[in-house]
Structure 1
Amino acid sequence: MRALLSFLFIVMGVYSLQSQQQTDSITKELKRIQESSNLVGFAVAIVNKDGIVYSKGFGYSNKEQLIPYTTKTVQPIASISKTLLGVALMKAQELGILDLDDKINDHLPFTIQNPFYPNEPITIRQLASHTSSILDTEHYEKIYIFNDSIPPFYENLPQKTKQEVQKEVDLLNGNQMMSASQFIKNQYCTDGKWYTSNGFSNTVPGSSYKYSNMGANIAAYIIAQASGMEYTEFLRKHILKPLQMNDSGWVSKTHHLENVSTLYWYGHPIPTYEFITYGDGGFMTNIEDFSKYMTAVMKGYQGESNILKASSYKEMLSQPASKEFKKNVFWTIDDEKIGHSGNDPGIISHAYFLREGSHGIIVFVNTSEVENDMISVRDIYRTLLKYM
Structure 2
Amino acid sequence: MLKITLRSILMLLMTLIISSRITLAQTAKTETDIDAIIKKFDAVGLAVAVVKDNKLIYTHSFGLKDIGQNVPLNNTDIFRIASISKSFSATGIMQLAEAKKLSLDDDFSKLIGFKIRNPKYPETVITLRMVMSHTSSINDSQGYFNLDVINPDKSTNWAKCYNDYEPGKGYQYCNLNYNMVGTVIEKISGERFDHYIKHHIIEPLGLYAGYEVSMLDSARFVTLYEYNRNTKTFVPAPLAYNPRRNEIENYVMGSNTPIFSPTGGMKISATDLARYMMMHMNYGKAPKGKRIISKESAKTMQTQIADKDGYGLAIRTVTDLIPGTIMKGHTGSAYGLYSAMFFQPEQKFGFVVITNGTSSNPNIDITPILRETINSLYDNLVKK
Q: Give the TM-score of the pair, scaled to structure 1.
A: 0.78
Q: 2:275 aligned with 1:271, yes or no? A: no
Q: Give, as a single letter, the amino acid of the residue that structure 1 aligns with 2:238.
A: P
Aligned-partner SS, 1:276: helix
- How far, CA to CA, are the matches of 1:325 and 1:272 in structure 2? 28
Aligned equivalent of 1:296: 279
Distance 1:345 1:260 in 2: 14
In the alignment, the residues of structure 2 paired with residue 260 and residue 194 of structure 1 have an alpha-carbon distance, to the nearest angstrom, of 39
SS in structure 2 at match of 1:384? helix
Contact 1:301 1:357 in 2 (8 A): no
2-structure distance, mates of 1:72, 1:306 = 25
Moved more, 52-61 or 252-261: 252-261
Shift of 1:32: 2.5
Counterpart Cα distance in 2 of 1:375 and 1:316: 26
Alignment pair present for 1:332 and 2:299: no
The corresponding residue for 1:13 is: none
Match of 2:294 among 309, 314, 324: 309
1:262 correspondence with 2:194: no
Identify if the C-alpha distance between structure 1 residues 380 and 199 changes in structure 2 by more than 3 Å, giving closer, same or farther.
same
Q: After TM superposition, give the deviation of residue 83 of structure 1 in Å.
A: 1.2
Deviations 1:51-100 (A, max 9, x none): 31111000010121121112211111100111111211111111221111
How far apart are residue 324 of structure 1 and its match? Answer: 4.6
Q: Which one of 97, 101, 114 corresponds to residue 101 of structure 2? A: 97
State which of 50, 70, 77 in structure 1 corresponds to 2:74.
Answer: 70
Identity %: 27
- Say if 1:81 and 1:283, in contact at 8 Å, map to a contact too: yes
**2:245 equivalent in structure 1:** none
Amino acid at match of 2:143: H
CA-CA distance at 1:354 after TM superposition? 2.2
Specify whether residues 342 and 371 from structure 1 end up closer, same or farther in structure 2 by C-alpha distance, changes over 3 A only. Answer: closer
Q: Which amino acid aligns with 1:249?
A: G
Change (3 A) 1:124 1:249: same
Please say if residues 84 and 341 of structure 2, whose CA atoms lie closer than 8 Å, have aligned partners that are also in contact: yes
State the structure with more CA Rg.
Answer: 1
* Cα separation, partners in 2 of 1:18 and 1:81, compared to 1, 3 Å: closer
TM-fit CA distance, 1:258: 4.2
Give unmatched runs, 5+ long, in structure 2. Answer: 1-19, 228-233, 243-257, 320-325
Q: What is the letter of the counterpart of residue 202 of structure 1? A: D
- Per the TM alignment, residue 381 of structure 1 is displaced from its structure 2 partner at its CA by 2.2
Match of 1:27 in 2: 31
Change (3 A) 1:255 1:381: closer
Distance 1:303 1:347 in 2: 27
Aligned match for 2:369, one of 360, 373, 376: 376
Greater CA drift, 237-246 or 266-275: 266-275
Which of residues 43, 55, 69 is equivalent to 1:51?
55
Q: Compute the displacement of 1:330 (Å).
A: 1.4
CA distance in 2, matches of 1:91, 1:108: 17
Matched, 1:244 2:234: no
Do the aligned partners of residues 19 and 253 (structure 1) sit closer, same or farther apart at CA in structure 2, a change above 3 Å counting? closer
Residues 128 and 327 of structure 1 are in contact (CA less than 8 Å); yes or no, is this contact kept in structure 2?
no
Measured in 2, the distance between the counterparts of 1:315 and 1:69 equals 36
| Structure 1 residue runs without a partner (length 5+) | 1-15, 144-182
**What amino acid is aligned across from residue 261 of structure 1 in structure 2?**
V
Q: Structure 1 residues 49 and 22 mapped into 2: Cα distance closer, same or farther (>3 Å)?
A: closer
CA apart distance, 1:195: 2.1
* Maintained 8 Å contact 2:285/2:293: no
Task: Indicate whether 1:137 and 2:141 are aligned.
Answer: yes
Residue 384 (structure 1) shift: 1.4
- Say if 2:309 and 2:318, in contact at 8 Å, map to a contact too: no
**2:263 alignment counterpart:** 280
**In the TM superposition, what whole-angstrom CA distance separates every residue of 1:338-382 from its partner, at most 9, and x where no partner exists?**
0000110121001101253321011011115x3657433332222
SS of 1:334 mapped into structure 2:
strand
Which of the pair has the greater relative contact order for Cα pairs under 8 Å at 6+ separation?
1
1:94 & 1:17 partners in 2: Cα distance? 37
Distance 1:65 1:205, change over 3 A: same
8 Å contact from structure 1 (residues 61, 262) kept in 2: yes
Does the residue aligned with 1:237 lie in a helix, a strand or coil?
Answer: helix
1:300 counterpart SS class: coil
Deviation at 1:49, TM superposition (A): 5.6
- Describe the shift of the 1:303–1:25 C-alpha distance in structure 2 as closer, same or farther (beyond 3 A): closer
Query: C-alpha offsets along residues 185-226 of structure 1, whole Å, 9 cap, x if unaligned?
Result: 2x1122333624221012221111111111111111111111
Return the match for 1:184 from 113, 134, 147: 147
- The verdict on how the C-alpha distance between 1:208 and 1:20 changes in structure 2, with shifts beyond 3 A counting, is same
Q: Which residue of 1 aligns with 2:170?
A: 208
CA contact (8 A) 1:251 1:257 kept: no
Distance 1:134 1:94 in 2: 26
